[in-house]
Amino acid sequence: MRPIWSGAISFGLVTIPIKVFPATESHTISLHQFHTADGGRIRYRKVCEADGKALTQEEITRGYETATGTLIPVTDEDLDALPLPTAKAIEIVAFVPTDSIDPIRIGASYYLAAEGVAAKPYELLRQALERSSKVAVAKFAMRDRERLGLLRVLDDVIVLHGMRWPDEIRDPGQVEVPDVEVSDEEIDAAIALADTLSGRDISEMHDEYRQALEKLIEAKAAGTRPEPVEAPQPASAEVVDLMAMLEKSVNEAKASRSDGPDATVHDLPTAKKTTKKTAAKKTAGKEAPAKKSAGRKPRSA
């Protein structure tokens, strides 16, 4: 792997020079657009609105457009001169329990590596994170903006996860929550299904859509087509018998896992209960107009 960034972790008065490597990769198959009539590739060009000329990357700069339409240029030199202490440092600002971080805030992931004289302080931070069972919240600047990050240990490597700022998370109160009742029996049946589906190794999961697309491309390249597969029926919007569907789901899960060595399945509850639970009350002031998400500060392009 090739590093995409280099800097240092700032851990109190301890500085740890590190290199940053991408921890993930995309296996998405890229499809291009082309002209049906002659097979010519369709390409996107960067064209100036003022003179209609196609521009090279060297002729393009960045800037911010104000509400009145005024363009304010922002150059690489301007960005490099910003007084950010995190410009070349991952500055740890807090240690927090792992379960206090909502997964909705997690973004791209990176591996951090250290060598030479940085090996000992790197190992010090790694073991501190591991033994405390906590993660470190940090601030760092990468690709023209300051970011919030999370440091944790994966095996023997410190991993940096980019995180969204608090004002980038939309208020869930804007989502309409249905006000319905479900019975204890239905809830117990759903839990039984969840228990039946527990214990699966997600490391064995794979992208079936990408595999099907690869087979399609290989077949068409050979002048054939894959065998047609019956398309699944779309989900019905009609009201269904939840208990019947849950029972069927549990039975199918049992059948699919009957050959697995570690399969654990649970039976549906048989005793009927008469008490009912009411769904959680709607957010206070639900009838009021939906609250707008917090305004965001302008960023460089």
Is 70 exceeded by the pLDDT of residue 79? Answer: no
Measure the CA–CA gap between 222 and 199, rounded to whole angstroms. Answer: 41
> What pLDDT is recorded for position 290?
42
Close Cβ partners of 232 (under 8 Å, ≥ 6 residues apart): none
Determine phi and psi for 41, rounding to 5 degrees.
-65, 140
Q: What is the pLDDT of residues 141-175, one digit of tens each?
A: 876 678 899 999 999 999 999 999 988 888 888 88
Name the packing angle between helices 184-196 and 242-257 (round to 10°).
20
* pLDDT of 1 higher than 60: yes
pLDDT tens digits for range 38-73: 989 988 889 998 898 989 888 888 888 888 888 888
pLDDT at 276 over 60: no
Query: Could you tell me which residue, 7 or 196, shows the higher pLDDT?
Result: 7
Residue 140 CB: number of other CB atoms within 10 A?
Answer: 25
Q: What is the pLDDT of residue 278?
A: 42
User: Residues 171, 281: contact at Cβ < 8 Å?
Assistant: no
- What share of the chain in percent tops pLDDT 70? 75
DSSP three-state, residue 138: strand
Rg of the chain taking only CA atoms, in angstroms: 27
CA 188 and chain centroid, separation = 31
Element (H, E) at 77: helix 76-80
Report residue 114 as tokens.
């250290």
Q: What gap in Å lies between CA 135 and CA 110, rounded to an integer?
A: 15
Task: Provide the pLDDT for residue 113.
Answer: 94
Distance CA 216, CA 210 (A): 10
Per-residue confidence (pLDDT) for residue 281, from 0 to 100: 41
